[in-house]
Amino acid sequence: MSLDTPILDSQLPSLLHQISQEGGYAFTSIAAHAATGDTRAAEAARDLAWEQLHSAGPWHSVVPIWRDAYAIASLHVAKCHLLSCPRHGPHHGRIHAAR
């Protein structure tokens, strides 16, 4: 089973380039691993983006690309959890129905 994300997939290289232009080198490296289905990398990328969003002062002083970075990482986390990524997921590929 897979979860297609064609818009994210097509926009990811451009967005990662823009993020790296704003000093997000660590984020881009980790996000590349997240895109391969690495749950821990996805969560680390989300945490890095969250820190950028909440450490620059008022919301209007945050560079807008960091909002995109948080969205990218959140989508990767959701995708990994939905598919229970076998690399690091607790259910080794099994999908459980919501209770």
Q: Where are the beta strands (DSSP E) in the chain?
A: none
Rounded average pLDDT over 2-31: 90
Give the Cα separation of 47 and 27 in Å (integer): 9
Query: Domain span at residue 24?
Result: 6-73
Domain count, the chain: 1
User: Binning pLDDT at 50, 70 and 90, where does residue 91 land?
Assistant: very low
Q: How far is CA 80 from the centre of its chain?
A: 10
pLDDT at 1: 57
Count of CB atoms within 10 A of residue 63's CB? Answer: 17
Provide the whole-model pTM.
Answer: 0.77
Query: How confident is the prediction for the chain on average, in pLDDT?
Result: 84
Rounded average pLDDT over 40-59: 92
Confirm whether 15 is domain-assigned. Answer: yes
Confirm whether 10 is domain-assigned. Answer: yes
Give the Cα separation of 63 and 61 in Å (integer): 6
Half-sphere exposure of residue 82, counting CA atoms within 13 Å on the CB side? Answer: 11
pLDDT at 5: 81
